[in-house]
Structure 1
Amino acid sequence: MLGLAKRVGARFLLTSTSEVYGDPLQHPQAETYWGNVNPIGVRSCYDEGKRTAETLSMDYHRGARVEVRIARIFNTYGPRMCIDDGRVVSNFVAQALRKEPLTVYGDGKQTRSFQYVSDLVEGLMKLMEGEHVGPFNLGNPGEFTMLELAQVVQETIDPNARIEFRPNTEDDPHKRKPDISRAKDLLGWEPKVPLRHGLPFMVSDFRKRIFGDHSTSTTSSSSSSASV
Protein backbone atom coordinates (compact mmCIF):
# COMPACT_ATOMS: atom_id res chain seq x y z
CA MET A 1 0.00 0.00 0.00
CA LEU A 2 2.88 2.35 0.68
CA GLY A 3 4.29 1.48 -2.76
CA LEU A 4 0.92 2.26 -4.33
CA ALA A 5 0.72 5.57 -2.46
CA LYS A 6 4.18 6.42 -3.77
CA ARG A 7 3.25 5.59 -7.38
CA VAL A 8 -0.01 7.54 -7.48
CA GLY A 9 0.96 10.37 -5.13
CA ALA A 10 -1.72 9.53 -2.53
CA ARG A 11 -1.87 10.54 1.10
CA PHE A 12 -1.55 7.38 3.20
CA LEU A 13 -3.33 6.79 6.51
CA LEU A 14 -1.92 4.22 8.93
CA THR A 15 -4.38 3.28 11.63
CA SER A 16 -1.93 2.13 14.26
CA THR A 17 -2.82 1.27 17.84
CA SER A 18 -2.22 2.00 21.50
CA GLU A 19 -0.79 -1.54 21.61
CA VAL A 20 2.52 -0.11 20.34
CA TYR A 21 3.04 1.01 23.95
CA GLY A 22 2.83 -2.59 25.20
CA ASP A 23 2.53 -2.81 28.98
CA PRO A 24 3.49 0.83 29.52
CA LEU A 25 5.81 2.08 32.24
CA GLN A 26 4.71 5.65 31.46
CA HIS A 27 1.21 6.78 32.39
CA PRO A 28 -0.60 8.33 30.61
CA GLN A 29 1.11 7.44 27.34
CA ALA A 30 2.40 10.27 25.14
CA GLU A 31 3.50 9.79 21.54
CA THR A 32 7.13 10.32 22.59
CA TYR A 33 7.03 7.14 24.70
CA TRP A 34 8.73 4.22 22.92
CA GLY A 35 6.78 1.52 24.70
CA ASN A 36 7.42 -1.63 26.71
CA VAL A 37 6.67 -4.56 24.40
CA ASN A 38 7.56 -8.22 24.81
CA PRO A 39 8.76 -9.17 21.29
CA ILE A 40 8.13 -12.90 21.81
CA GLY A 41 4.90 -12.71 23.83
CA VAL A 42 1.53 -14.14 22.83
CA ARG A 43 0.31 -10.65 21.86
CA SER A 44 3.51 -9.57 20.13
CA CYS A 45 2.45 -10.37 16.54
CA TYR A 46 -0.11 -7.55 16.80
CA ASP A 47 2.02 -5.12 18.84
CA GLU A 48 5.16 -5.57 16.76
CA GLY A 49 3.22 -5.71 13.49
CA LYS A 50 1.85 -2.23 14.13
CA ARG A 51 5.23 -0.95 15.28
CA THR A 52 6.78 -2.27 12.06
CA ALA A 53 4.00 -0.62 10.03
CA GLU A 54 4.83 2.70 11.68
CA THR A 55 8.53 2.17 10.89
CA LEU A 56 7.81 1.44 7.20
CA SER A 57 5.46 4.41 6.94
CA MET A 58 8.08 6.79 8.30
CA ASP A 59 10.76 5.26 6.03
CA TYR A 60 8.56 5.90 2.99
CA HIS A 61 7.82 9.40 4.25
CA ARG A 62 11.49 10.28 4.75
CA GLY A 63 12.96 8.35 1.84
CA ALA A 64 10.27 8.57 -0.84
CA ARG A 65 8.41 11.70 0.31
CA VAL A 66 5.12 9.81 0.68
CA GLU A 67 2.57 11.85 2.58
CA VAL A 68 1.74 9.65 5.56
CA ARG A 69 -0.51 10.21 8.56
CA ILE A 70 -0.24 7.97 11.63
CA ALA A 71 -3.02 7.55 14.20
CA ARG A 72 -2.55 5.49 17.35
CA ILE A 73 -6.09 4.41 18.11
CA PHE A 74 -7.15 3.55 21.65
CA ASN A 75 -10.13 1.33 22.56
CA THR A 76 -13.14 2.32 20.47
CA TYR A 77 -16.76 1.18 20.76
CA GLY A 78 -20.10 1.87 19.12
CA PRO A 79 -22.86 0.48 16.89
CA ARG A 80 -22.05 -2.05 14.14
CA MET A 81 -19.14 -3.65 15.97
CA CYS A 82 -18.84 -7.40 15.55
CA ILE A 83 -20.86 -8.94 18.36
CA ASP A 84 -18.38 -11.74 19.11
CA ASP A 85 -15.10 -10.02 18.22
CA GLY A 86 -13.61 -10.66 21.67
CA ARG A 87 -13.20 -6.97 22.55
CA VAL A 88 -14.11 -6.20 26.13
CA VAL A 89 -16.99 -3.79 25.45
CA SER A 90 -18.53 -6.14 22.87
CA ASN A 91 -18.12 -9.06 25.27
CA PHE A 92 -19.76 -7.31 28.22
CA VAL A 93 -22.67 -5.90 26.20
CA ALA A 94 -23.41 -9.21 24.43
CA GLN A 95 -23.09 -11.19 27.67
CA ALA A 96 -25.41 -8.85 29.59
CA LEU A 97 -28.03 -8.94 26.82
CA ARG A 98 -27.87 -12.74 26.66
CA LYS A 99 -28.18 -13.00 30.48
CA GLU A 100 -24.70 -14.51 30.70
CA PRO A 101 -22.14 -13.57 33.37
CA LEU A 102 -19.74 -10.75 32.48
CA THR A 103 -16.28 -12.32 32.25
CA VAL A 104 -13.59 -10.25 33.96
CA TYR A 105 -10.04 -11.49 33.59
CA GLY A 106 -7.62 -11.22 36.49
CA ASP A 107 -8.60 -8.93 39.36
CA GLY A 108 -10.37 -6.47 37.05
CA LYS A 109 -8.14 -3.58 38.10
CA GLN A 110 -6.41 -3.23 34.72
CA THR A 111 -7.51 -0.01 33.01
CA ARG A 112 -8.52 1.05 29.51
CA SER A 113 -9.87 4.23 27.92
CA PHE A 114 -12.95 4.00 25.69
CA GLN A 115 -13.86 6.40 22.90
CA TYR A 116 -17.10 6.50 20.94
CA VAL A 117 -16.76 5.79 17.23
CA SER A 118 -17.94 9.23 16.07
CA ASP A 119 -15.13 10.87 18.05
CA LEU A 120 -12.57 8.62 16.36
CA VAL A 121 -13.97 9.34 12.88
CA GLU A 122 -13.73 13.09 13.52
CA GLY A 123 -10.14 12.69 14.70
CA LEU A 124 -9.14 10.68 11.62
CA MET A 125 -10.72 13.26 9.31
CA LYS A 126 -8.88 16.11 11.02
CA LEU A 127 -5.64 14.14 10.79
CA MET A 128 -6.06 13.45 7.07
CA GLU A 129 -7.10 17.02 6.27
CA GLY A 130 -4.21 18.53 8.25
CA GLU A 131 -0.52 18.86 7.54
CA HIS A 132 0.92 16.97 10.52
CA VAL A 133 2.31 13.45 10.04
CA GLY A 134 1.89 12.25 13.60
CA PRO A 135 1.81 9.87 15.27
CA PHE A 136 -1.22 11.12 17.16
CA ASN A 137 -2.97 9.40 20.03
CA LEU A 138 -6.69 9.23 19.25
CA GLY A 139 -8.54 8.09 22.34
CA ASN A 140 -10.66 9.22 25.25
CA PRO A 141 -8.59 10.00 28.38
CA GLY A 142 -11.48 8.82 30.57
CA GLU A 143 -9.92 5.82 32.32
CA PHE A 144 -11.93 2.84 33.62
CA THR A 145 -10.94 -0.37 35.33
CA MET A 146 -12.49 -3.50 33.85
CA LEU A 147 -14.67 -3.78 36.95
CA GLU A 148 -15.87 -0.18 36.49
CA LEU A 149 -16.67 -0.92 32.85
CA ALA A 150 -18.64 -4.01 33.89
CA GLN A 151 -20.58 -1.88 36.37
CA VAL A 152 -21.42 0.71 33.69
CA VAL A 153 -22.71 -2.11 31.47
CA GLN A 154 -24.77 -3.41 34.40
CA GLU A 155 -26.27 0.06 34.94
CA THR A 156 -27.10 0.34 31.23
CA ILE A 157 -28.51 -3.14 30.58
CA ASP A 158 -29.15 -5.26 33.66
CA PRO A 159 -28.33 -4.30 37.28
CA ASN A 160 -28.57 -7.99 38.20
CA ALA A 161 -25.97 -9.14 35.66
CA ARG A 162 -23.42 -11.36 37.38
CA ILE A 163 -19.66 -10.81 37.14
CA GLU A 164 -17.48 -13.91 36.76
CA PHE A 165 -13.72 -13.76 37.34
CA ARG A 166 -11.36 -15.82 35.20
CA PRO A 167 -7.55 -16.19 35.09
CA ASN A 168 -5.88 -13.27 33.35
CA THR A 169 -4.44 -13.59 29.85
CA GLU A 170 -0.69 -13.46 29.31
CA ASP A 171 0.97 -10.06 28.70
CA ASP A 172 -2.25 -8.17 29.41
CA PRO A 173 -1.30 -4.46 29.81
CA HIS A 174 -2.03 -3.14 33.30
CA LYS A 175 -2.81 0.45 32.36
CA ARG A 176 -3.83 2.24 29.19
CA LYS A 177 -4.66 5.94 28.95
CA PRO A 178 -3.80 8.37 26.14
CA ASP A 179 -2.14 11.72 26.54
CA ILE A 180 -4.00 13.63 23.80
CA SER A 181 -2.25 17.00 24.29
CA ARG A 182 -0.67 16.77 20.85
CA ALA A 183 -3.98 16.08 19.08
CA LYS A 184 -5.64 18.94 20.96
CA ASP A 185 -2.85 21.39 20.10
CA LEU A 186 -2.12 20.44 16.47
CA LEU A 187 -5.43 18.97 15.24
CA GLY A 188 -7.88 20.87 17.41
CA TRP A 189 -9.43 17.53 18.36
CA GLU A 190 -10.65 15.98 21.57
CA PRO A 191 -13.42 13.44 22.23
CA LYS A 192 -16.88 14.71 23.18
CA VAL A 193 -18.90 11.56 24.01
CA PRO A 194 -18.49 10.08 27.51
CA LEU A 195 -18.88 6.34 27.98
CA ARG A 196 -22.24 6.55 29.73
CA HIS A 197 -23.67 8.58 26.84
CA GLY A 198 -22.28 6.50 23.99
CA LEU A 199 -22.84 3.01 25.39
CA PRO A 200 -26.69 3.04 25.07
CA PHE A 201 -26.39 3.52 21.28
CA MET A 202 -24.21 0.42 21.06
CA VAL A 203 -26.56 -1.52 23.34
CA SER A 204 -29.56 -0.64 21.17
CA ASP A 205 -27.74 -1.83 18.03
CA PHE A 206 -26.57 -5.08 19.68
CA ARG A 207 -30.07 -5.77 21.02
CA LYS A 208 -31.57 -5.48 17.52
CA ARG A 209 -28.94 -7.75 15.98
CA ILE A 210 -28.95 -10.39 18.73
CA PHE A 211 -32.71 -10.67 19.12
CA GLY A 212 -33.83 -9.40 15.72
CA ASP A 213 -35.76 -6.26 14.82
CA HIS A 214 -39.26 -7.75 14.77
CA SER A 215 -40.87 -4.67 13.27
CA THR A 216 -38.47 -4.79 10.32
CA SER A 217 -38.96 -8.52 9.77
CA THR A 218 -42.76 -8.13 9.88
CA THR A 219 -42.61 -5.35 7.30
CA SER A 220 -40.31 -7.41 5.09
CA SER A 221 -42.62 -10.43 5.30
CA SER A 222 -45.63 -8.34 4.36
CA SER A 223 -43.77 -6.80 1.43
CA SER A 224 -42.62 -10.21 0.25
CA SER A 225 -46.13 -11.65 0.43
CA ALA A 226 -47.54 -8.69 -1.45
CA SER A 227 -44.95 -8.98 -4.22
CA VAL A 228 -45.51 -12.74 -4.52
Structure 2
Amino acid sequence: MPLMKEKTVLVTGGAGFLGSHLCERLLEQGNEVLCVDNYFTGRKQNILHLLESPHFEILRHDVTFPLYVEVDEIYNLACPASPVHYQFDPVQTTKTSVHGAINMLGLAKRIKAKILQASTSEVYGDPEMHPQREEYWGNVNPIGPRSCYDEGKRCAETLFFDYHRQHGLEIKVARIFNTYGPRMALDDGRVVSNFILQALRGEPITIYGEGQQTRSFCYVDDLVEGMIRLMNDTPGDFTGPMNLGNPGEFTIMELAETVLELTGSKSEIVFRPLPENDPMQRKPDISLAKSTIGWEPTIRLHDGLRKTIEYFKAFTASI
Protein backbone atom coordinates (compact mmCIF):
# COMPACT_ATOMS: atom_id res chain seq x y z
CA MET A 1 0.00 0.00 0.00
CA PRO A 2 1.56 3.37 -0.98
CA LEU A 3 2.31 5.78 1.82
CA MET A 4 -0.18 8.60 2.17
CA LYS A 5 0.66 12.22 2.89
CA GLU A 6 1.77 12.53 6.50
CA LYS A 7 -0.89 13.83 8.88
CA THR A 8 -1.13 14.23 12.62
CA VAL A 9 -4.00 12.02 13.76
CA LEU A 10 -5.67 11.89 17.19
CA VAL A 11 -7.21 8.57 18.22
CA THR A 12 -9.31 8.70 21.38
CA GLY A 13 -9.62 5.29 23.01
CA GLY A 14 -6.37 4.48 21.22
CA ALA A 15 -5.20 1.92 23.78
CA GLY A 16 -8.33 -0.16 23.38
CA PHE A 17 -8.84 -3.24 21.24
CA LEU A 18 -9.96 -1.43 18.10
CA GLY A 19 -8.06 1.79 18.80
CA SER A 20 -4.68 0.06 19.12
CA HIS A 21 -5.09 -1.62 15.73
CA LEU A 22 -6.11 1.70 14.21
CA CYS A 23 -3.05 3.46 15.69
CA GLU A 24 -0.85 0.70 14.30
CA ARG A 25 -2.27 1.02 10.80
CA LEU A 26 -2.07 4.83 10.82
CA LEU A 27 1.60 4.64 11.79
CA GLU A 28 2.26 2.15 8.99
CA GLN A 29 0.83 4.71 6.58
CA GLY A 30 3.37 7.32 7.68
CA ASN A 31 1.23 9.44 9.99
CA GLU A 32 2.02 11.07 13.32
CA VAL A 33 -0.35 9.48 15.84
CA LEU A 34 -1.48 10.86 19.20
CA CYS A 35 -3.13 8.12 21.27
CA VAL A 36 -5.47 9.37 24.00
CA ASP A 37 -6.90 6.98 26.61
CA ASN A 38 -7.91 7.01 30.27
CA TYR A 39 -7.28 3.23 30.56
CA PHE A 40 -10.74 2.37 31.88
CA THR A 41 -10.95 -0.44 29.33
CA GLY A 42 -7.86 0.30 27.24
CA ARG A 43 -4.59 -1.39 28.18
CA LYS A 44 -1.01 -0.14 27.91
CA GLN A 45 0.01 -3.61 26.73
CA ASN A 46 -1.97 -3.01 23.54
CA ILE A 47 0.29 -0.16 22.48
CA LEU A 48 3.65 -0.93 24.09
CA HIS A 49 5.05 -2.17 20.78
CA LEU A 50 4.22 1.20 19.18
CA LEU A 51 6.38 3.17 21.62
CA GLU A 52 9.47 2.38 19.55
CA SER A 53 8.15 4.72 16.85
CA PRO A 54 9.16 8.39 17.14
CA HIS A 55 5.87 9.19 15.39
CA PHE A 56 3.71 7.79 18.21
CA GLU A 57 2.71 9.63 21.38
CA ILE A 58 0.47 8.65 24.33
CA LEU A 59 -1.59 11.02 26.43
CA ARG A 60 -3.56 9.84 29.47
CA HIS A 61 -6.81 11.80 29.33
CA ASP A 62 -10.56 11.39 29.87
CA VAL A 63 -12.54 12.78 26.93
CA THR A 64 -15.33 13.97 29.24
CA PHE A 65 -12.92 16.86 29.87
CA PRO A 66 -11.81 19.27 27.10
CA LEU A 67 -8.58 18.57 25.26
CA TYR A 68 -6.37 21.16 23.58
CA VAL A 69 -4.06 19.77 20.91
CA GLU A 70 -3.22 20.50 17.26
CA VAL A 71 -4.03 17.69 14.83
CA ASP A 72 -5.33 17.21 11.29
CA GLU A 73 -7.81 14.40 11.93
CA ILE A 74 -9.66 12.90 14.88
CA TYR A 75 -10.97 9.36 15.28
CA ASN A 76 -13.32 9.37 18.29
CA LEU A 77 -13.35 5.79 19.61
CA ALA A 78 -13.41 6.53 23.35
CA CYS A 79 -16.18 4.59 25.10
CA PRO A 80 -16.48 1.18 26.76
CA ALA A 81 -18.03 -1.05 24.11
CA SER A 82 -18.98 -4.29 25.85
CA PRO A 83 -22.04 -4.73 28.12
CA VAL A 84 -19.89 -5.81 31.07
CA HIS A 85 -17.91 -2.58 30.93
CA TYR A 86 -20.52 -0.04 29.86
CA GLN A 87 -23.04 -1.30 32.44
CA PHE A 88 -20.44 -1.09 35.24
CA ASP A 89 -20.90 2.71 35.40
CA PRO A 90 -23.79 3.56 33.07
CA VAL A 91 -23.82 7.27 33.94
CA GLN A 92 -20.14 7.58 33.04
CA THR A 93 -20.78 5.60 29.84
CA THR A 94 -23.39 8.14 28.75
CA LYS A 95 -21.08 11.00 29.71
CA THR A 96 -18.26 9.49 27.67
CA SER A 97 -20.47 9.23 24.58
CA VAL A 98 -22.16 12.63 24.94
CA HIS A 99 -19.65 14.89 26.73
CA GLY A 100 -16.84 13.15 24.86
CA ALA A 101 -18.50 13.90 21.53
CA ILE A 102 -19.09 17.53 22.52
CA ASN A 103 -15.45 17.98 23.55
CA MET A 104 -14.01 16.30 20.45
CA LEU A 105 -16.38 18.18 18.14
CA GLY A 106 -15.44 21.43 19.85
CA LEU A 107 -11.77 20.62 19.31
CA ALA A 108 -12.39 19.74 15.66
CA LYS A 109 -14.29 22.98 15.15
CA ARG A 110 -11.52 25.08 16.72
CA ILE A 111 -8.67 23.54 14.71
CA LYS A 112 -10.74 22.80 11.55
CA ALA A 113 -9.99 19.07 11.70
CA LYS A 114 -11.93 16.27 10.04
CA ILE A 115 -13.50 13.98 12.66
CA LEU A 116 -14.85 10.42 12.56
CA GLN A 117 -17.26 9.04 15.14
CA ALA A 118 -17.05 5.35 15.98
CA SER A 119 -20.76 4.69 16.36
CA THR A 120 -22.28 1.25 16.69
CA SER A 121 -24.84 -1.18 15.36
CA GLU A 122 -26.47 -0.82 18.80
CA VAL A 123 -28.15 2.35 17.51
CA TYR A 124 -30.52 -0.06 15.72
CA GLY A 125 -31.52 -1.71 19.02
CA ASP A 126 -33.39 -4.99 18.57
CA PRO A 127 -34.03 -4.38 14.88
CA GLU A 128 -37.28 -4.96 13.05
CA MET A 129 -35.44 -4.50 9.73
CA HIS A 130 -33.13 -7.30 8.61
CA PRO A 131 -30.45 -6.80 7.45
CA GLN A 132 -30.02 -3.31 8.88
CA ARG A 133 -29.62 -0.40 6.47
CA GLU A 134 -28.41 3.06 7.39
CA GLU A 135 -31.78 4.71 6.84
CA TYR A 136 -33.38 2.49 9.51
CA TRP A 137 -34.07 4.52 12.69
CA GLY A 138 -33.93 1.56 15.04
CA ASN A 139 -35.95 -0.09 17.79
CA VAL A 140 -34.23 0.99 21.01
CA ASN A 141 -35.39 0.84 24.62
CA PRO A 142 -34.45 4.28 26.05
CA ILE A 143 -34.67 3.19 29.72
CA GLY A 144 -33.21 -0.33 29.75
CA PRO A 145 -29.90 -1.61 31.15
CA ARG A 146 -28.20 -1.22 27.75
CA SER A 147 -29.59 2.26 27.11
CA CYS A 148 -26.54 4.09 28.47
CA TYR A 149 -24.57 2.80 25.48
CA ASP A 150 -27.31 2.63 22.82
CA GLU A 151 -28.76 6.08 23.52
CA GLY A 152 -25.37 7.60 24.29
CA LYS A 153 -24.15 6.63 20.83
CA ARG A 154 -27.39 7.81 19.21
CA CYS A 155 -27.03 11.18 20.93
CA ALA A 156 -23.41 11.38 19.77
CA GLU A 157 -24.56 10.88 16.18
CA THR A 158 -27.08 13.69 16.67
CA LEU A 159 -24.33 16.01 17.89
CA PHE A 160 -22.09 15.13 14.96
CA PHE A 161 -24.74 15.96 12.40
CA ASP A 162 -25.76 19.15 14.20
CA TYR A 163 -22.13 20.34 14.23
CA HIS A 164 -21.97 19.48 10.53
CA ARG A 165 -25.14 21.42 9.70
CA GLN A 166 -24.57 24.34 12.06
CA HIS A 167 -20.81 24.82 11.76
CA GLY A 168 -19.93 23.14 8.46
CA LEU A 169 -17.70 20.63 10.27
CA GLU A 170 -16.37 17.79 8.12
CA ILE A 171 -17.65 14.64 9.84
CA LYS A 172 -17.71 10.90 9.22
CA VAL A 173 -19.95 8.48 11.14
CA ALA A 174 -19.22 4.75 11.08
CA ARG A 175 -21.71 2.29 12.56
CA ILE A 176 -19.53 -0.58 13.68
CA PHE A 177 -20.92 -4.12 13.95
CA ASN A 178 -19.43 -6.97 16.01
CA THR A 179 -15.66 -6.92 15.62
CA TYR A 180 -13.18 -9.46 16.98
CA GLY A 181 -9.48 -10.25 16.85
CA PRO A 182 -6.22 -10.11 18.83
CA ARG A 183 -6.12 -7.71 21.80
CA MET A 184 -9.73 -8.21 22.77
CA ALA A 185 -9.95 -7.89 26.55
CA LEU A 186 -10.28 -11.19 28.37
CA ASP A 187 -12.97 -9.79 30.68
CA ASP A 188 -15.07 -7.90 28.17
CA GLY A 189 -17.92 -10.40 28.22
CA ARG A 190 -18.26 -10.51 24.44
CA VAL A 191 -19.28 -13.76 22.87
CA VAL A 192 -16.09 -14.41 20.86
CA SER A 193 -13.71 -13.84 23.78
CA ASN A 194 -16.02 -15.69 26.18
CA PHE A 195 -16.23 -18.77 24.00
CA ILE A 196 -12.50 -18.87 23.22
CA LEU A 197 -11.47 -18.51 26.87
CA GLN A 198 -13.99 -21.09 28.05
CA ALA A 199 -12.87 -23.53 25.35
CA LEU A 200 -9.16 -23.06 26.10
CA ARG A 201 -9.75 -23.54 29.82
CA GLY A 202 -12.00 -26.56 29.33
CA GLU A 203 -14.90 -24.75 30.98
CA PRO A 204 -18.53 -25.04 29.82
CA ILE A 205 -19.39 -22.85 26.83
CA THR A 206 -22.14 -20.52 28.08
CA ILE A 207 -24.90 -19.66 25.61
CA TYR A 208 -27.60 -17.21 26.61
CA GLY A 209 -31.03 -18.11 25.28
CA GLU A 210 -31.31 -21.00 22.85
CA GLY A 211 -28.34 -19.93 20.72
CA GLN A 212 -30.46 -19.13 17.68
CA GLN A 213 -29.88 -15.37 17.87
CA THR A 214 -27.59 -14.26 15.05
CA ARG A 215 -24.53 -12.05 14.87
CA SER A 216 -22.16 -10.93 12.13
CA PHE A 217 -18.47 -11.03 13.02
CA CYS A 218 -15.91 -8.77 11.35
CA TYR A 219 -12.17 -9.33 11.80
CA VAL A 220 -10.43 -6.25 13.19
CA ASP A 221 -8.08 -5.72 10.20
CA ASP A 222 -11.05 -5.50 7.85
CA LEU A 223 -12.84 -3.07 10.15
CA VAL A 224 -9.82 -0.75 10.47
CA GLU A 225 -9.45 -0.69 6.70
CA GLY A 226 -13.08 0.39 6.40
CA MET A 227 -12.68 3.19 8.95
CA ILE A 228 -9.62 4.61 7.22
CA ARG A 229 -11.27 4.45 3.81
CA LEU A 230 -14.31 6.27 5.19
CA MET A 231 -12.14 8.98 6.76
CA ASN A 232 -10.19 9.46 3.52
CA ASP A 233 -13.23 9.27 1.25
CA THR A 234 -13.65 11.90 -1.41
CA PRO A 235 -15.72 13.93 -1.93
CA GLY A 236 -15.29 15.28 1.57
CA ASP A 237 -18.96 16.16 1.94
CA PHE A 238 -19.91 12.48 2.39
CA THR A 239 -20.76 12.10 6.07
CA GLY A 240 -22.28 8.66 6.52
CA PRO A 241 -23.60 7.13 8.63
CA MET A 242 -22.08 4.03 7.10
CA ASN A 243 -22.39 0.44 8.28
CA LEU A 244 -19.03 -1.30 8.72
CA GLY A 245 -19.24 -4.98 9.49
CA ASN A 246 -19.27 -8.43 7.99
CA PRO A 247 -22.61 -9.42 6.38
CA GLY A 248 -21.90 -13.09 6.99
CA GLU A 249 -24.55 -14.17 9.52
CA PHE A 250 -24.03 -16.91 12.11
CA THR A 251 -26.10 -18.15 15.01
CA ILE A 252 -24.47 -18.09 18.43
CA MET A 253 -24.70 -21.90 18.43
CA GLU A 254 -22.74 -22.04 15.15
CA LEU A 255 -20.06 -19.78 16.64
CA ALA A 256 -19.75 -22.00 19.71
CA GLU A 257 -19.40 -25.12 17.58
CA THR A 258 -16.77 -23.44 15.39
CA VAL A 259 -14.71 -22.37 18.41
CA LEU A 260 -14.88 -25.91 19.81
CA GLU A 261 -13.72 -27.29 16.46
CA LEU A 262 -10.79 -24.86 16.09
CA THR A 263 -9.57 -25.23 19.68
CA GLY A 264 -10.09 -28.97 19.87
CA SER A 265 -11.78 -28.38 23.22
CA LYS A 266 -13.99 -30.94 24.93
CA SER A 267 -16.03 -28.24 26.70
CA GLU A 268 -19.75 -28.88 26.96
CA ILE A 269 -22.34 -26.29 25.95
CA VAL A 270 -24.67 -24.97 28.66
CA PHE A 271 -27.61 -22.60 28.35
CA ARG A 272 -28.56 -19.60 30.50
CA PRO A 273 -31.48 -17.10 30.35
CA LEU A 274 -31.20 -14.41 27.67
CA PRO A 275 -30.27 -10.94 29.08
CA GLU A 276 -32.83 -8.13 28.87
CA ASN A 277 -32.92 -6.27 25.53
CA ASP A 278 -30.34 -8.59 23.95
CA PRO A 279 -31.02 -8.25 20.19
CA MET A 280 -32.06 -11.37 18.31
CA GLN A 281 -30.52 -10.38 14.96
CA ARG A 282 -27.49 -8.43 13.83
CA LYS A 283 -26.50 -8.25 10.18
CA PRO A 284 -25.29 -5.16 8.35
CA ASP A 285 -26.33 -4.16 4.88
CA ILE A 286 -22.98 -2.87 3.54
CA SER A 287 -24.18 -1.81 0.10
CA LEU A 288 -23.29 1.81 0.90
CA ALA A 289 -19.74 0.91 1.92
CA LYS A 290 -19.28 -1.14 -1.24
CA SER A 291 -20.54 1.59 -3.57
CA THR A 292 -19.00 4.61 -1.81
CA ILE A 293 -15.58 3.51 -0.53
CA GLY A 294 -15.18 0.18 -2.33
CA TRP A 295 -14.98 -1.73 0.94
CA GLU A 296 -16.09 -5.17 2.04
CA PRO A 297 -14.55 -7.68 4.46
CA THR A 298 -12.08 -10.20 3.05
CA ILE A 299 -11.19 -12.37 6.09
CA ARG A 300 -13.34 -15.48 6.66
CA LEU A 301 -14.63 -16.24 10.14
CA HIS A 302 -12.59 -19.46 10.41
CA ASP A 303 -9.37 -17.64 9.49
CA GLY A 304 -10.01 -14.73 11.83
CA LEU A 305 -10.92 -17.03 14.70
CA ARG A 306 -7.70 -19.01 14.24
CA LYS A 307 -5.64 -15.80 14.61
CA THR A 308 -7.68 -14.74 17.62
CA ILE A 309 -7.34 -18.13 19.29
CA GLU A 310 -3.56 -18.06 18.83
CA TYR A 311 -3.45 -14.64 20.48
CA PHE A 312 -5.51 -15.83 23.44
CA LYS A 313 -3.35 -18.92 23.82
CA ALA A 314 -0.17 -16.82 23.93
CA PHE A 315 -1.67 -14.15 26.17
CA THR A 316 -3.12 -16.53 28.75
CA ALA A 317 0.15 -18.47 28.83
CA SER A 318 2.01 -15.28 29.78
CA ILE A 319 -0.15 -14.39 32.80
- TM-score (normalised: structure 1): 0.92
Q: Which residue in the other structure is 2:178 paired with? A: 75
Q: Which residue in the other structure is 1:226 paired with? A: none
Q: Verify: 1:31 aligned to 2:134, yes or no.
A: yes
Q: Work out whether residues 174 and 244 of structure 2, in 8 Å CA contact, stay in contact via their aligned partners in 1.
A: yes
Aligned length: 213
Cα deviation per residue 1:108-139 (whole Å; 9 max; x = unaligned)?
A: 11110000000001000100001321000000
Amino acid paired to 1:96: A
Q: Structure 2 matches for 1:184-199, cutoff 5 A? A: 184-199=290-305
Amino acid paired to 1:181: S
Q: Which residue in the other structure is 1:56 paired with? A: 159
Amino acid paired to 1:190: E
Determine which structure has the larger helix proportion and give its number. 1
User: 2:163 aligns to what SS in structure 1?
Assistant: helix
Q: Which residue in the other structure is 1:89 paired with? A: 192
Runs of 4+ in 1 over 3 A off after TM superposition: none
Q: Structure 2 matches for 1:130-169, cutoff 5 A? A: 130=233, 131=236, 132-169=238-275
Q: Verify: 1:12 aligned to 2:115, yes or no.
A: yes
User: 1:15 aligns to what SS in structure 2?
Assistant: strand
Question: Quick one: which of 222, 228, 234 aligns to 1:119?
Answer: 222
Q: Verify: 1:104 aligned to 2:104, yes or no.
A: no
Give the gaps of 5 or more residues in structure 1: 214-228
User: 1:137 aligns to what SS in structure 2?
Assistant: strand
Q: Work out whether residues 215 and 249 of structure 2, in 8 Å CA contact, stay in contact via their aligned partners in 1.
A: yes
Which shows bigger deviation, 151-160 or 42-51? 151-160
User: 1:24 aligns to what SS in structure 2?
Assistant: coil
Output the CA distance in 2 between the equivalents of 1:166 and 1:16.
Answer: 29
Amino acid paired to 2:192: V
User: 1:42 aligns to what SS in structure 2?
Assistant: coil
Q: Verify: 1:47 aligned to 2:150, yes or no.
A: yes
Which shows bigger deviation, 158-167 or 203-212? 158-167
User: 2:171 aligns to what SS in structure 1?
Assistant: strand
- TM-score (normalised: structure 2): 0.66
**Shift of residue 190, structure 1, vs aligned partner:** 0.3
User: 2:133 aligns to what SS in structure 1?
Assistant: coil
User: 2:183 aligns to what SS in structure 1?
Assistant: coil
**Shift of residue 159, structure 1, vs aligned partner:** 4.6
Q: Greater RCO between the two (CA within 8 Å, min separation 6)?
A: 1
User: 1:160 aligns to what SS in structure 2?
Assistant: coil
Output the CA distance in 1 between the equivalents of 2:206 and 2:169.
Answer: 44
Amino acid paired to 2:214: T
Amino acid paired to 2:294: G
RMSD between aligned residues = 0.9
**Shift of residue 158, structure 1, vs aligned partner:** 2.3
User: 1:37 aligns to what SS in structure 2?
Assistant: coil
Output the CA distance in 1 between the equivalents of 2:258 and 2:162.
Answer: 43
Output the CA distance in 1 between the equivalents of 2:200 and 2:114.
Answer: 42
Give the gaps of 5 or more residues in structure 2: 1-103
**Shift of residue 83, structure 1, vs aligned partner:** 1.2
Q: Which residue in the other structure is 1:204 paired with? A: 310
